[in-house]
Structures are given as structure tokens and as C-alpha cells.
Amino acid sequence: MNIEPTFREQLIDAGILIPLGVDGVWGRNGVFEAICAGLEHAISEAGLNDAPEVMRFPPAMPQDYFEKSGYMKNFPHFAGTIHSFDGDERGQHKLLGQMARGEPWMEQQQPAGLVLTPAACYSVYPTLARRGPLANVGALVDVYCWCFRHEPSLEPTRFQFFRMREFVRVGTVAQVMAFREDWVARGKVFATSLGIPFEVDIANDPFFGRGGKLMADSQREQALKFELLVPINEGAGPTACMSFNYHMTHFGETWDMRTEDGEVAHTACIGFGIERLALAMLRHHGFDLDLWPVDVRAFMGFGTKVSKSVGSVDAVEA
Amino acid sequence: MNIEPTFREQLIDAGILIPLGVDGVWGRNGVFEAICAGLEHAISEAGLNDAPEVMRFPPAMPQDYFEKSGYMKNFPHFAGTIHSFDGDERGQHKLLGQMARGEPWMEQQQPAGLVLTPAACYSVYPTLARRGPLANVGALVDVYCWCFRHEPSLEPTRFQFFRMREFVRVGTVAQVMAFREDWVARGKVFATSLGIPFEVDIANDPFFGRGGKLMADSQREQALKFELLVPINEGAGPTACMSFNYHMTHFGETWDMRTEDGEVAHTACIGFGIERLALAMLRHHGFDLDLWPVDVRAFMGFGTKVSKSVGSVDAVEA
């Protein structure tokens, strides 16, 4: 009996994902990164006319930003805190002995004041808030960040570390709602240009615990979150590759962000899951980038010989 | 009395570095990222003819890779371990209470099996080792990764989170030594093309504790490490922006990497500190990319209007 390899096995066999021995933690090869660079290019182009302000953040954020965000109320199971050793040589000697004997050795690791970033936009709000009241036109930010969610999984679409690109809008309720509505439409055009099948549906976040069900229901009832879903995994529902989120005044109140008129600011963000979009492309167009449809290749800014130059992230032409 | 703002203050005033309230942890704006993309482009071009295999890794590595690397013997103070909450709703309730009262709340955080990557090449060795003995020509890898070192500092050149690009060579002692010697020369050409002042000098790593002095001396005596140094900070010595490292058989023995003949493999790596090189460029060419020397702009692949398009990482032309 022949058993068809799964998409996950195909990705590993082709060397596109490099297993590291931890579920959901992968290395990537040049083909995968060329697709990610192409997606970055296409997203930049899609947002270019809006002239967003560019902000880039490292993979972690300050502990006080994280605490204030309320993340541990909603998703404590996903967070990753960073700890470091501040012992002396005696402490190090003890630690190395524990490690050599295969014992736990991390009891001397102390909180380092940093938490892995769970969503790209989290550092945007305090950064904007520090500047004082918004201008009349509000704010629009283009942000990109490595994110972490501690949810080890065998599904190739569930990375513990992944990159998230976002456009973040801050302003009056009218500005923010118009932005999200516009981007739901633009998201559909974007996915159509990528040549992948999709549907857009109302969604909810995976809130923690029994109380989480209530929060999820409320989020759906208020239509706060939409997702663009693409079939990727065999025998499973489609995967959210983009999301369109309205936060009402949650971040405005948290960071005391004010509009020009002194009202609490509303916020919304459009998120692109880079790894998931890359997997969607591989799933629907195959592993040989040279054989992808010409218009898709053009949309992603690929040159004529991307497969020859995947040794470089510069496979994408500006 | 007029006091000239420091380079650090100038970077903040210009919005190039975004303070986040933690020393050595910064956001970046579009100008900074355009320079980083330009450096990536120039490094890719410099290595293109060697046809390295591309590997990309997330900002963390498996705990067992990390333990085996020996990092805690040499640099325990720099490491960042990742911890996550695996409690229940009662545990979460307790945690939220502690957080609300401003008390420590991380005692329920448990090791997540992941450690922040301290140097880009660390995941390359076990990945190569898993494939079995090397081919006759050895191996050459192009790797790029966010790295972490817990050394909070006010010096703008000392980021806790930074990006490191590396070329990694694995093979016989002759292959590896020739590679490093070649790259010391190519590194000088590279820095000359960037238009920055530099010197190359023998160097040592900042080993931990009193025993570290001996290791540093030994490293210098054996000329295992060279650095390309660029003056950046006022009133301080020059900053290492590239390094040229020969590890002898350290990683070969650790991961049992073998040459075609069955000998333990030697390794070397050439590291480019992306953030430090970007700061060197800002220091020596100024903050307006349009005013940079034409040949430098061409070397970095900048288009004609990079300052107009810093809203996008695609400011660099392939």
C-alpha cells in the first residue's frame, strides 16, 4: 500500500523546512525565504500609497509593555518570558554540574525584563502614545516583527516562531472602521493576486480557560475579528493567513492614546502571517518557483531566475 | 555652554532608533531598516559566487542544541532562556493578582525547551551533522538570524537583540583556514566599499569569570579570532563590526561532524553584525541616505530615490 507523504513530510523532504527537533520550531531554506521576501515586497506595494510610518522591533518587548497589554489575562499559555543567569562563578559551577548530569539547571535563571513579542503591533501603541495626542489624520504604521506563541504542534502551519507584518491604524472610530473595511476588500484582492483559494470569515481569538469561551463569543457577536482563510493542511479546516482586527478602545485606554479632540483613540490592525502565506503559496503553486504562474511571480516581484538566486534574499526585484 | 548631542542622542532625535525603555533594546525606523537591507544585499553579492547553501533560523534554538554547544561554560551571563506558563485557571488567577500588586509573578513560568540564539551559526552545525559525513568539498552555509546577548548598555552599538549574518565553512583544516584567510582580505575590500574607516586586529571573546582570562589569552595566542573594527562611539575604542573566527575542531567534536575521510571536521565562520555596520554607515555618511557617496549607494543596491521609499524594505534594488 502506498501512502502519499503529507504536506509536512514533503516540505521536509524538499529541504524547505529544516527540522530542529522541537515541534513548531523550524529552520528555512532559500526557497522558503525567497517566498517570504516576495510576500514582503507585495505587502509593501499594497500599502505604499498610504505612506505608512515604518517601525521595526526586535523579537522581544519590555516586560512593562507586556504586562500593561493585558496579554496574561487572555493568552497566558502562549507567552514566552526571557530569563538570564546573574550568578557568580560558584553558581555557574553548580549549573554546569546539573547540566552535565542531565538535571534541571534553570533555577538560577532570573527574569531579564523582556518578553517575546506575541503580536507585531504591541510595541506600536506605547511608541505612539509617548508622542502625545494624535494629529487630525490619526496614525498609520507599517510594522514587522518576529512573534512567539508557545503552542508546540505537528501542523506545519503552526510555528512557535513566525513573522507577522501589520498595518496598524489609530484614530477616531470612523477612521479606524473605514480602514478595516477597506482592508477586508483589499485583502481579498491581495489573496486573489497570489492565486490562492480563500474565504473571509468572522473569527475569534483562542482565549484561555473556561472564561475564554465567553470572551470569544462576545468577540464574534461584535464582529471584532475577521480572518482570511486558506486551505493548507490535509484533512483539516482552512488556516488563517491574514486577520482584520478592531480593538475598539482597548489599546487607546491602556496607553491613554488620544485623538486631536482629546477622545480616547480607537485602533485596528491588519495582520499578514508571513510563514502561513508562504506555505499557502507552496501548497497551491508547488515547490518550484520557476513554474509558478507568471502573473503571481510578477506580483511577488520575482526576477526571471529566482530559482537560480535563492542563495540570496535579493531574489526579489524592487 | 553648548553641549553637542551624543551619537546616541542624535539617533533618537532623528527617530532612527526608537527607545523602548530598556537599555540596548530598540525599535528601528525605515531609514535604519533600508540600511540593513542594503547591507544584506551587499553581503549576498559578496558571497554569491561561492554559491553557499542558505539556512535561516528563528530567534531561538532548541535547549539541547544550546546545552551541547557549551555556551554556558563560556558565556553564561549572555544567555536568554525562554519560559512559559503551563498552569491552570487558578494559577493564572494567582499570577494576575501578583502582577496587579506589582509583585514578581514569574515563579510559575517553566522552561519551554528553547533558548535565544546567541550566534547565528549555532543551529548550522547540528543541521549539517545530521546529514552524515561531508562531501569532498566540505560545506559552505549562508546563515542569518536574530541573536540575543543579555548585556544591557547605553552604548548604541551594544544591542541586546541584533541580527547576525554569517558565512560558515566546514571541512578539512586546509579548507577552513583558506576560507578564513580569504575572507579577512575580502572583509577589508567590503569595508572599503562601504566607505568606512577600519582596522583588522586579533581579538578575543568576553569569556566569563576569572578562568575566562586564561581562555581569552589562549584564544589570542592561537590567533583564533580576528575582528574588523570601526570607530563609532565617541570617546571609546572602535567597535567590532565583522569577525573572522576559527573554531578548530570544537564544533566538529561536539556534533561529530566528519570529513569524507572520516576525520573530525574543522569549522570557521565570518560574521557580519548588521546593526553595528548600519550604525557605522550612519556615523560616517550621515543620516540622509540621499547624500551618501554614489559608489557606496550603488554597492548597497540603493535605487535613485531610497529616501522616498523607506516606507518599504524594498528600497534595495536586486
pLDDT band at A51 (very low <50, low <70, confident <90, very high): very high
Residue A46: strand pairing partners: none
Q: Could you tell me whether strands A139-148 and A53-56 are parallel, antiparallel, or unpaired per DSSP bridges?
A: parallel
Instruction: Tell me which chain A residue has its CA closest to the CA of residue B70.
Output: A96
**Contact call for residues B117 and B148 (beta carbons, < 8 A):** yes
Backbone angles phi, psi at B209, to 5 degrees: 75, -175
Domain match, A109 and A188 both: no
> What residues of chain A, 104 to 123, have a C-beta less than 8 Å from chain B?
104-106, 109, 111-114, 116, 123
- Work out how many domains chain A is built from and give that number: 2
Check whether A172 has a pLDDT greater than 70. yes
pLDDT > 70: percent of chain A? 95
pLDDT tens readout for residues A63-117: 999 999 999 999 999 999 999 999 999 999 999 999 999 999 999 999 999 999 9
Partner-chain contact B312 A111, CB within 8 Å: no
**Contact call for residues B251 and B224 (beta carbons, < 8 A):** no
Residue B102 exposure: Cα atoms within 13 Å on the Cβ side: 0
Q: Which chain A positions have a beta carbon within 8 Å of B78's beta carbon?
A: 84
Q: A245 by DSSP, 3-state: which?
A: strand
Instruction: Tell me which chain A residue has its CA closest to the CA of residue B16.
Output: A55
Query: How many Cβ atoms from other residues are within 10 Å of residue A132's Cβ?
Result: 9
Which among A76, A123, A313 has CB closest to B92? Answer: A76
Query: How many Cβ atoms from other residues are within 10 Å of residue B141's Cβ?
Result: 20
Hey, what's the cell of A123? 510595541
pLDDT band at A148 (very low <50, low <70, confident <90, very high): very high
- Residue A145 maps to a domain: yes
Separation in Å, CA B54 to CA A183, A291, B110, B116: 34, 21, 33, 20
- Residue B97 maps to a domain: yes
Average pLDDT over residues B205-220: 93
Name the minimum distance, in Å, from the CA of A221 to any CA of chain B: 25
Q: Which chain A positions have a beta carbon within 8 Å of B208's beta carbon?
A: 89, 92
pLDDT band at A314 (very low <50, low <70, confident <90, very high): very low
Instruction: Tell me which chain B residue has its CA closest to the CA of residue A34.
Output: B54
Is residue A213 within a helix (H) or strand (E), and if so which, with residue range?
helix A211-221
- Put simply, whether B98 touches A (Cβ < 8 Å) is no
- Residue A157 maps to a domain: yes
CATH code of the domain in which B149 resides: 3.30.930.10
d(CA B22, CA B8): 14
pLDDT of B308 reads 46
Check whether B103 has a pLDDT greater than 90. yes
pLDDT of B304 reads 63
**Contact call for residues B169 and B137 (beta carbons, < 8 A):** no
d(CA B285, CA A107): 47
- Put simply, whether B307 touches A (Cβ < 8 Å) is no
Least confident segment among A119-128, A168-177, A301-310: A301-310
Least confident segment among A30-34, B92-96, B247-251, B306-310: B306-310
Domain match, A105 and A217 both: no
Segments forming the whole domain that contains residue A98: 84-113
Residue contacts between A and B (CB atoms, under 8 Å): 248
- Residue B175: partners with Cβ closer than 8 Å, 6 or more residues away: B137, B138, B169, B266
Backbone angles phi, psi at B115, to 5 degrees: -130, 135
What's the residue count for chain A? Answer: 318
Domain match, B93 and B161 both: no
pLDDT > 90: percent of chain A? 92
Which among A32, A51, A312 has CB closest to B44? Answer: A312
Partner-chain contact B150 A313, CB within 8 Å: no
Check whether B314 has a pLDDT greater than 50. no
Written as one letter, the residue type at A221 is E
pLDDT of B80 reads 98
pLDDT of A201 reads 97
pLDDT of A305 reads 54
Check whether B136 has a pLDDT greater than 60. yes
- Write down the mean pLDDT value for chain B: 94
pLDDT of A313 reads 35
Identify the DSSP state of A79: -
d(CA A308, CA B215): 43
pLDDT of A4 reads 87
Identify the DSSP state of B174: H
- Residue B2 maps to a domain: no
Q: Which chain A positions have a beta carbon within 8 Å of B64's beta carbon?
A: 21
Domain match, B98 and B230 both: no
pLDDT tens readout for residues B243-287: 999 999 999 999 999 999 999 999 999 999 999 999 999 999 999
Partner-chain contact B21 A65, CB within 8 Å: yes
pLDDT of B130 reads 96
Check whether A312 has a pLDDT greater than 70. no
Instruction: Tell me which chain A residue has its CA closest to the CA of residue B97.
Output: A73
Q: B257 by DSSP, 3-state: which?
A: coil
Identify the DSSP state of A160: S
d(CA B160, CA B149): 5
Check whether A9 has a pLDDT greater than 70. yes
**Contact call for residues A228 and A188 (beta carbons, < 8 A):** yes
**Contact call for residues B282 and B291 (beta carbons, < 8 A):** no
Domain match, B201 and B160 both: yes
- Residue B309 maps to a domain: no
Check whether B312 has a pLDDT greater than 70. no
Partner-chain contact A79 B81, CB within 8 Å: no
Q: A157 by DSSP, 3-state: which?
A: coil
Is residue B281 within a helix (H) or strand (E), and if so which, with residue range?
helix B274-285
d(CA B88, CA A87): 31
Identify the DSSP state of B309: -
pLDDT tens readout for residues B34-54: 999 999 999 999 999 999 999
pLDDT > 90: percent of chain B? 92
- Residue B164 maps to a domain: yes
d(CA A294, CA A299): 9
pLDDT tens readout for residues A199-219: 999 999 999 998 899 999 999
pLDDT band at B171 (very low <50, low <70, confident <90, very high): very high
Residue B80 exposure: Cα atoms within 13 Å on the Cβ side: 26
- Put simply, whether B85 touches A (Cβ < 8 Å) is yes
Domain match, A22 and A76 both: yes
Domain match, A243 and A108 both: no
Tell me chain A's radius of gyration from C-alpha atoms: 21
Residue B202: strand pairing partners: B226
Q: Which chain A positions have a beta carbon within 8 Å of B93's beta carbon?
A: none
**Contact call for residues A314 and B44 (beta carbons, < 8 A):** yes
Domain match, B257 and B108 both: no
Query: How many Cβ atoms from other residues are within 10 Å of residue B310's Cβ?
Result: 20
Q: B187 by DSSP, 3-state: which?
A: helix
Sheet strands (E) in chain A: 17-22, 25-29, 53-56, 60-62, 81-85, 109-116, 139-148, 161-171, 199-202, 225-230, 239-246, 266-273
Domain match, A221 and A108 both: no
d(CA A119, CA B209): 37
Separation in Å, CA A92 to CA A88, B65, B210: 6, 19, 12
pLDDT band at A2 (very low <50, low <70, confident <90, very high): low
Hey, what's the cell of B8? 546616541
Name the minimum distance, in Å, from the CA of A261 to any CA of chain B: 25
pLDDT band at A304 (very low <50, low <70, confident <90, very high): low
End-to-end CA distance of chain A: 48
pLDDT of A1 reads 57
Q: Which chain A positions have a beta carbon within 8 Å of B125's beta carbon?
A: none
Q: Which chain B positions have a beta carbon within 8 Å of A312's beta carbon?
A: 44-45, 48, 54
Which among B48, B72, B318 has CB closest to A303? Answer: B318
Domain match, B209 and B176 both: yes
**Contact call for residues A237 and A202 (beta carbons, < 8 A):** no
Nearest CA to B248 out of B185, B180, B182 is that of B180
pLDDT band at B5 (very low <50, low <70, confident <90, very high): very high
- Put simply, whether A301 touches B (Cβ < 8 Å) is yes
- Residue B172 maps to a domain: yes
User: Global pTM?
Assistant: 0.95
Hey, what's the cell of A127? 511608541
Domain match, B96 and B192 both: no
- Residue A136 maps to a domain: yes
Domain match, A67 and A133 both: yes
